[in-house]
Amino acid sequence: MEGDVQHIGASASEDLAQRTNTNYGPENAAMSDNKEPIEDAGEEMDVQEISGWAEFCAWSGFVMTPIIWWLQGPSVSTDQFVVRTGLIVISASVAVGLRGRALFQRRRAAKAATGERLIGPPTEQPK
């Protein structure tokens, strides 16, 4: 009986391979079998772009948490209240911190472009 099951399974997979015209030749090898180097798509994410997406996620978490609270109702335990409050505090501090970092970087780039000193008291520009 066991041999029959294996035989039926083998013939079913062979039948499926024939019906789908599957060819497992070298041109259809798995990507891990491919020995050619993978070409770079030319799209690299820099730190500024990643921090922008992280800031978006933090603001989204900050905005969505009260909505989720409203849908789920009041906290039923101290642990649930602590976790909910922690989520608000963490998402707000990350969002505000990343926004502050973006503003600082923008001001720093503007100062560098005008030739103004980045550290120390402002210098008077020659007229």
* Structure confidence at residue 43 as a pLDDT band (50, 70, 90): confident
Domain-wise residue ranges, the chain: 2-28, 47-114
Angle between helical axes of 78-114 and 47-72 (0-180°, round to 10) = 150
pTM value? 0.55
* Structure confidence by residue, pLDDT tens digits, 63-98: 999 898 899 898 899 999 999 999 999 999 999 999
* Structure confidence by residue, pLDDT tens digits, 45-71: 888 889 999 999 999 999 999 898 899
